[in-house]
Amino acid sequence: MPTPHISAAKGDIAETVLLPGDPYRAKWAAETFLDNPRLINEVRGMLGFTGTYKGNPVTIHGSGMGMPSLSIYANELITEYGAKTLIRIGSCGGMQTAINVRDVIIAMTATTLSTPSRGIMKELNFAPCADYGLLEKAVAAARAKGTPTHVGGIYSSDVFYDERPDLTEQMTRHGIMGVEMEAAELYILAARHGCRALAVLTVSDHLLTGEALPSQDREKSFGDMVEIALEAAF
């Protein structure tokens, strides 16, 4: 059962997988929110843990930064380990004045210039979107927690050091709420394989104001995001 990038044995990975980009955030989330978490992967330093949440099996596994890295892990988790529900939990940059640092964005759609799946789609401008059932439950969980939450479109960039202020201006003008680097490919892979996918994101910095979340405050803000994702999954 092991793949080139995941050493877990058969049965080690749950059907529900949360995907933070940072493997150490996967470790923190598993130790904080799961019962009896155990390490099931550490190939290339990409940590994965499986435990339970309210009695439900859950795996929290790092995806790395960017769509190519996430594509590798999501493909193997789905095709080799039977993952059925994949929820990205991560940070994003805010792109609207009504959105504040520490708020949560639940991504209904994910706009992008390109993804690793572009070669399959060819001339088709496929519109990656979330699973509605997951989205609906995530919104309900966020409201129950009282977490400031926004639902709408995000932008999945394939570069971190972007030098296209004109593109940012147009996305902001068209209501894009935040920018990150993985969700669009996750949504496409889920559609391809008949799985459920969602991205629940914490606004860690803001492209318009320049405000950034201090590192010491991140765990509390990220905790809201993890709990919303876990409640949405079940």
Query: CA angle, 195 as apex, 192 and 31 as ends, to 5°?
Result: 130
Q: Contact 99/203 with Cβ under 8 angstroms?
A: yes
Q: Contact 50/12 with Cβ under 8 angstroms?
A: yes
The answer to whether 219 is annotated as binding is no
The answer to whether 121 is annotated as binding is no
How far is residue 210's CA from residue 93's CA, in Å, rounded to a whole number? 10
Q: What average pLDDT values come out for the chain (234 residues) when binned by 10 residues? A: 91 97 96 98 97 98 97 98 98 97 97 92 92 98 97 96 91 97 98 98 95 77 93 98
pLDDT at 28: 95
pLDDT at 162: 85
The answer to whether 91 is annotated as binding is yes
How far is residue 185's CA from residue 166's CA, in Å, rounded to a whole number? 24
* Residue 83 CA: distances (Å) to CA of 63, 80, 106, 217, 220: 14, 8, 21, 32, 28
CATH number of 16-233: 3.40.50.1580
Q: Which residues form the catalytic set?
A: 205
Q: Does the model's pTM come out above 0.85? A: yes
The answer to whether 182 is annotated as binding is yes
